[in-house]
A and B are shown apart, each in its own frame.
Chain A
Amino acid sequence: MELSWRSKLESLLGASIVTERIPAGGADIEWLNDAGGQGGTIKSGSRVTMPDGTIRLIVSADGEKVEYVDLAPGDLSGREELLLEWLLSELARADNADGGPGRGPNREMRRLGEWIQEQISAGRIKAAVPEDLNAGGRLDSERIPFLLLADHATTANDAELEKLLQAYLESDVLLVPLREQEWLILASDALLRDEGGVEEMPEELLEGIARGMHDMLASEWLGENHIAVAHPIEPASAVVETVFLLRETVALGRRFHQGDMVHLPWNIHLERLLSSIPEEQRLRFIEQTASRSDLLLEPEIVTTLETFFAMNCNVSDTAKKLFIHRNTLLYRLDKLKQDTGLDVRLFRDAVLVKLLLLLYKVTKRKP
């Protein structure tokens, strides 16, 4: 589980970040501004020596609240304190770059992301979003959830990504940063409401939008990425559960379908089941099922079988798809039957071979 920078900071310092709401113009904030604001107002990285000698490092401050860490005098050397002050001011600058100065919503999304992380870490996947993180009620309406994982280290900020997504999805988009290089995207479900034209299944449309998003981000943003999409949800009540599902989908997709960059929860039921089987049992299944299952590792055979299954075991369609003669395909299938004892034209054997192909991707076999 990756921690947010706030959690990392708390863990390094052995102290908690305290959040205090301070009434605007109150005596406390005036005092802090006088003591640590260096002629202005306190900000991230400001250092205040409290009347009792405690060093108060300001993590963030806006007109309504202040986040700080209290350290006992002598906890850190002077140089460490300076380093920390600089670090906090840089982090604040990065935050501002993401959201733009005074951009409340993005900071809100960041907090929402941290909250989702905390719920998943604590195993509370059914948790509902608290009112103060509900983005002004925007999480109450149905939205399409996408999970985006960037493969390369990103240098672009969230604002740039948000703009791209808004242009692509042509609607209001909520971008929730989760872990490093990982975002939850909540798009309007209006995308699924088509004005006339050819009927399309929601799954097909969602997949199409996700694939388009992948290509768009690959070429217009920073390169390769993985995307998972689920059916529309009401984020206020289901966002944690959905992030959990989408993460699992990406993990299973990357494991079982290497090379595919778009992952769909409704396409990986079998993969989910297989990954829950202990390694030893998987190995036993492989050894017992086919007399020469190593043949199923040959690229030509794998491509032939995967296409055969994708074409619903139709010989003519498979041959057409593979650009080979029907007889060539039949020859390959006959040879496989001869060598492994499995005839994929029979439903029972087709199921076994499909399972073998999937298990090969996740099972360490004896050399």
Chain B
Amino acid sequence: MLILGMAAATYLTRVTPFFIRIREYRFLKYVPASVFSSLVFPDIVRSTDNLIAGIVVFAVAWKNRDLMLAFLAGISALYILRSVF
């Protein structure tokens, strides 16, 4: 019952936009920059370790857009910071 309700609620948030066409592409084109910024910032201001690791990843991502590289830079930077300090 709980699982069905959760599944329905989640699917609703995902499927509804696929059946309502939004023509305001002027706003929509800012979705990636806005959404990912909102997901990233609460996580990098959580602790000093996260903030430093976040800056490292920013620098890496600036030079190279490879997602795998960013991923590896992120986990290794945080792992090293947490082990050393």
A and B part of one assembly: no
Binding site for A on B (CB under 8 A): none
